[in-house]
Structure 1
Amino acid sequence: MTGQGACTSTFLALLVLAIPASPALLSVSYDGTNFHLNDGITKNWVARGNFTDHTFEDGWGYLEVETNPAYPDTIQAYAAGFAEGASSQDMIYKSYRNTLEGFCEWKSQKFCDNLREFLKKNMQWMKSMIALKRQSCPVFYNIDLILTQMNGVADGYNKTGKFPIPDEAILWMNLLGDIEDLESALDPSLSNMSIEDFVKSGRTLGDGHCSALVKVLPGNTDLYVSHVTWNTYQSMLRVQKKYILPFRRTGSSDPSDTIPGHTVAFSSYPGILSSGDDFYVLSSGLTSLETTIGNGNPALWKNVTATGELMEWMRTIVANRLATDGKSWAKFFSMHNSGTYNNQWMVVDYKLFKPRKHIKPNTLWVLEQLPGIVLSGDQSHILRSQSYWPSYNVPFYPEIFNMSGAPAMVKRYGDWFTYDKTPRALIFKRDHVKVKNIRSMIKLMRYNDFQHDPLSRCNCTPPFSAENAISARNDLNPKNGTYPFGALGHRSHGGTDMKMTTSSMASGLKFLAVNGPTYDQQPIFRWSEQDFAKDTPHYGHPDAWAFPVIGHKWVW
């Protein structure tokens, strides 16, 4: 993939008839030659979009996009992207400025040049595979649709946006999770570095990316799934999305060939097609989510290549669309593993859950990825025996744990880097029994009492860290404190949201969510009080993040 030329859309003949005002209720029609953007819903719509920015009211933007199955899938995909790009163009621009503007200045121009060349080769390989296998392989058929949809987002933005952004911007925004690892994979200085030298270099900071919990209620009365994003605070411009995309598996005209995950509700960001967090509730009956495990073994980066591999964000969408259960989700996701954005994935099959019945096999599948390897399996027996599955950025599978370089981190820094004794593992183990209902689940996932909780203590000055909680608040760590590694210190990073669903909510593709750092036991996050505010872009953000938990009601 590349942002300079290789993602040019198949559908360049656009006629923009009207630019809807915000909130945007619009449709995209197609006359066989041109796409037309319409204010409101027309009778011959290919895609319709409904976008509202409520960031200052409840912390979220809301986007719904639905396509018309009477049209070919490729036409639907492009129109869906165009509707999204046009309706949310203002939020896309602000998000670009917050997360990507100046990227090659604060990284390096050399890295960006290498990245562009890598993505160009990757795009060429994907296009060759699409040409070869599009008609027979559901994976590459959907890769083609994903690229087409992304092109639509870019064209929708460019036709309606007030401010231009680089040609590569939409692609790179979708790639940000993968780019974190591509920065290491494309660094030649790491190619011959040992794990021990890598640890000593300080590059591996134990940087947390998300907390997650799958919880069986007492008496097996319900099954909750919840996720807390950990990210930089500049990323908090967020969108809850619902896509209704009745694509076929391989372009068949047979309605029975419609993909299982044709409808998805998820937390996301402006302009990107995946969640990025990730948290998805799917029409297939599955809910998928992840926390990042990372890779601290430089020897594995040689497995990241521009040809033969699909970036993680695209494989996630493919698996969500095509899978019918945890096993098939793992199969689709594992194909053409890029070794980038390395995560522990949890896939919950709500079709198998029955209240007050034992947890059935295949209710919970867990997958972990590193460059060159993917391991997955049914972990329902653990969920059944201990009534919860926690996830907190540490590999569960011993082979993945050992390959990731984690043992060297344990040797240098101690229990913080272990699977069973790291602070969040101990907090989940102690407190999951307190979950009796939705309110107590939310309370646990927003929990941070680092000044008083003994499990938040560390060999630090002061002797605790706001990183050591289910929802981190690193802005509250003293700037002049001393910490054994950077993740425990003061920085613009923490838990930035909470999402959760239940068996009944998931059946209706619904979830509860709150955006912004936790303020349950801690002060409200205010940009005006942050010492890093001047150096951290936050266009379109409210000053104070004190929003309630929202259960959004979708229109379609």
Structure 2
Amino acid sequence: MYLLNIFVLTVLFVKSHGVNINGKDYHVDHFSENGVSKRVVYPKHGSTSTWVARSMYNKTYLAIGWDSLDLETNPEVDDEEQAFFAGYLEGLETHQAIYDHYWNTVKSDCVNETELCQRVNFYLETNIEWIKGMIKQHAASDVYWKQVNLFYQQLIGILFGYNKVAPATEELTMRDIMWINFSWDFGDVKSAMKNETNKVLKGNGHCSALIKLLRSKSDILVAHNTWTGYENMRRIMKRYSLLYKNIAGTVVSFSGYPGALVSGDDFYIVNSGLVVQETTNENNNASLWNYVRPTGQVLEVIRVTVANRLADGGRSWTKIFSQYNSGTYNNQWMVVDMKKFAPGSVKPELLWVLEQMPGYIRREDQTDVLTRQSYWASYNIPFYPDVYNMSATWALVDKYGDFFTHDKNPRALIFKRDHEKVLDVHTMMQLMRSNDFQHDPLSRCNCSPPYSAENAIAARNDLNLVNGTYPFNALSHRSHGAIDAKVTNYRMSQSQSLWAVSGPTTGAHLRPFQWSTSDFNHQLPHRGHPDRFNFKPVNFSWPAQVWAV
């Protein structure tokens, strides 16, 4: 059941809880237990032991800042059925959250860029036609293309599940679901079409990340926070247990968004022993956009999914990810292989670091740097000199100063100064939520007032003055900041568990973000959000299985 055919599959909803695919009937059971929604898909004429997929959805977003979704599939079922029904259950369970997120983000994305978005859609359609051909030719014999197919099968399942229960006035199309999933790539597709550079000057800095070896190598901690616009704060923590055949990574937990199969932050904990995260490196070299093409390339969000499933180490992850480089959503990827760590011991290939630009990828083992410094920090400035030069980030230094250097960037200096304060998960979370921009000398800038809430590990640009003077937009007043933080360590990663907090950071000098008192309240859609974001860190420890049948 390859992608080439699935767009024309006869999928009929034969009754309120039934699905028919190519003449085969399926039934969905649904019940709630202690406020948690649970669903299971069975073949209509099979026994309960032949379940296909099952889900558990906890709607706790307004209480703790996160919903949680736990999906599991049956390894005895064909992989294509597993993928479709994993998506189908997600669409059923999270339909309201999907529409809220769509309303806040995708729906308004093309309002002032109609012609440009038509070009993006043509790019997408051309890419899909090429993908279909590759799947038809290779999916039966090539595990890479089989996984690409399964990505799309799951995506289509989301659409059918969503539209099964959504009101007619809120029905979505396949294109809508694809925009939710590929929005991270489409930012660079738009830039390539406009031949645009210097996005970072406009304030597109995206994420802080830290990997920390504790003293005597007693533990390793991996942490990440996501920088984005506040309209994106509709969050779901997810675990996918997709038990496909012949893959290394069958279980992955990640911080995510409604309707998206990927983290997008990105932050993943995989049962192959890998913890994978990234921060974005912007391309400021217009000539590189010539390498972004709709054929011969696979979008980044698909490549990270395939790498998470197929790889069993940092070397193989970066090799798989490097194939079919789309030149979109260009990031520094950090892959920590927990199998190379034991308390008191570090082996080579514990940390692999990959950086991507259009037409180019560099990947190396950086375990020596991690062990020598006891930390690895990432903050939207390329590490590899050739990537730094290729991206033309250097051209911004003369005009705007050390903000655009790798070693003197404010976050680089703050991480260098403060990483030794990390003693455990709690203190790592404190560092990843830190922002004392009015008092920290490393937050100062050639601004009026002379500091910016951008210059911190967890940005809060909404706190910059509306009438302040800033040399470039990234430092200014805007709806942008660190909207979360996630931390795991060696022990927790074994069960794909983590601590996470949702919403812009708070503190002694930082008031919680509140839509009703913000000047962005009437400027930005925030359907379904709480008014005030003042949540505490939450421990996500997943059960052994979704639920016993």
TM-score, normalised on structure 1?
A: 0.91
Contact 1:286 1:348 in 2 (8 A): yes
Matches of 2:322 and 2:43, distance apart in 1: 36
Q: Does 2:542 match 1:529?
A: no
How many percent identity over aligned positions? 46
Return the match for 1:269 from 249, 257, 260.
257
Partner amino acid for 2:323?
Answer: M
Does the aligned pair in 2 maintain the 1:492–1:532 contact within 8 Å?
A: yes
Deviates most, 418-427 or 133-142? 133-142
SS of match in other structure, 2:202: coil
- 2:191 counterpart residue number: 184
CA shift digits 1:225-267 (9 cap, x unpaired): 000000111101100000001112xxxxxxxx3x111000110
1:68 and 1:14, CA in 2 relative to 1: closer, same or farther beyond 3 A? farther
Structure 2: which amino acid aligns with 1:205? K
2:219/2:489 contact within 8 Å kept: yes
Match of 1:75 in 2: 81
1:450 corresponds in structure 2 to 437
Deviations 1:5-34 (A, max 9, x none): 9973646234353385774211122359xx
The equivalent of 1:145 in structure 2 is: 150
Helix, strand or coil for the counterpart of 1:320? helix
1:520 aligned onto 2:519:
no
Counterpart CA distance in 2 for 1:205 and 1:7 is: 40
**1:384: how far off?**
0.5
Partner of 2:467: 480
Structure 2 unpaired stretches of 5+? 18-27
Q: Which residue of 2 aligns with 1:30?
A: 43
Secondary structure of the structure 1 residue equivalent to 2:455? coil
1:326 is aligned to 2:314: yes
Per-residue CA deviation, residues 405-431 of structure 1 (Å, 9 max, x unaligned), is 101111211111000000000000000
What residue is the counterpart of 2:244 in the other structure? 247
Does 2:381 align with 1:394? yes
Q: Is the 8 A contact 1:16 1:159 kept in 2?
A: no
Aligned to 1:51: 57
| 1:233 aligned partner, one-letter code | Y
Which residue identity is paired with 2:14?
L
- The residue type paired with residue 454 of structure 1 is P
Question: Could you list the per-position Cα deviations for residues 385-417 of structure 1 after superposition, in whole angstroms to 9, with x for gaps in the alignment?
Answer: 000000000000000000001011112111110
* Partner SS, residue 534 of structure 1: coil
1:469 is paired with a residue whose SS is coil
Distance 1:103 1:6, change over 3 A: farther
Question: Partner of 1:161 in structure 2?
Answer: 166
Alpha-carbon shift at residue 203 of structure 1 (Å): 7.2
Q: Which amino acid aligns with 1:168?
A: R
Query: What CA distance in whole angstroms lies between the structure 1 residues aligned with 2:322 and 2:532?
Result: 41
Residue number in structure 1 paired with 2:14: 15
User: Residues of 2 paired with 1:331 and 1:110: CA distance?
Assistant: 36
Tell me if the contact between 1:471 and 1:495 (Cα under 8 Å) persists in the aligned partners. Answer: yes
Cα distance in 2 between the residues matched to 1:63 and 1:370 = 33
Q: TM-score, normalised by structure 2?
A: 0.93
Aligned to 1:131: 136
CA gap 1:203/1:367 in 2 versus in 1, 3 angstroms: closer
Q: Which moved more, 1:94-103 or 1:467-476?
A: 94-103
Instruction: Specify the code of the residue in structure 2 equivalent to 1:8.
Output: F
Number of the residue aligned with 2:419: 432
**Is 1:545 the counterpart of 2:533 in the alignment?**
yes
- Secondary structure of the 2:368 match is helix
Q: Against the structure 1 CA distance between its residues 147 and 50, is the aligned structure 2 distance closer, same or farther, given a 3 Å change threshold?
A: same
What does residue 374 of structure 1 align with?
361
Match of 1:172 in 2: 179
1:472-520, Cα deviation, whole Å (9 max, x unpaired) = 0000000000100001000000000000100000011101100001112
3-state SS, counterpart of residue 66 of structure 1: strand
Distance 1:530 1:327, change over 3 A: same
Separation in structure 2 between the aligned mates of residue 381 and residue 9 of structure 1, nearest angstrom: 52
SS of match in other structure, 1:111? helix
| 2:24 corresponding residue in structure 1 | none
Residue in structure 2 matched with residue 385 of structure 1 by the alignment: 372
In the alignment, residue 356 of structure 1 is paired with which amino acid? G
Q: 3-state SS of the aligned residue for 2:342?
A: coil
Q: Aligned residue for 2:278?
A: 290
How many pairs were matched up? Answer: 524
Q: Deviations over 1:273-323 (max 9, x none)?
A: 010100000010000000001111100001000000000000000000000
Worse-matched range after superposition: 11-20 or 234-243:
11-20
Q: Any idea what SS the aligned residue of 1:365 has? A: strand
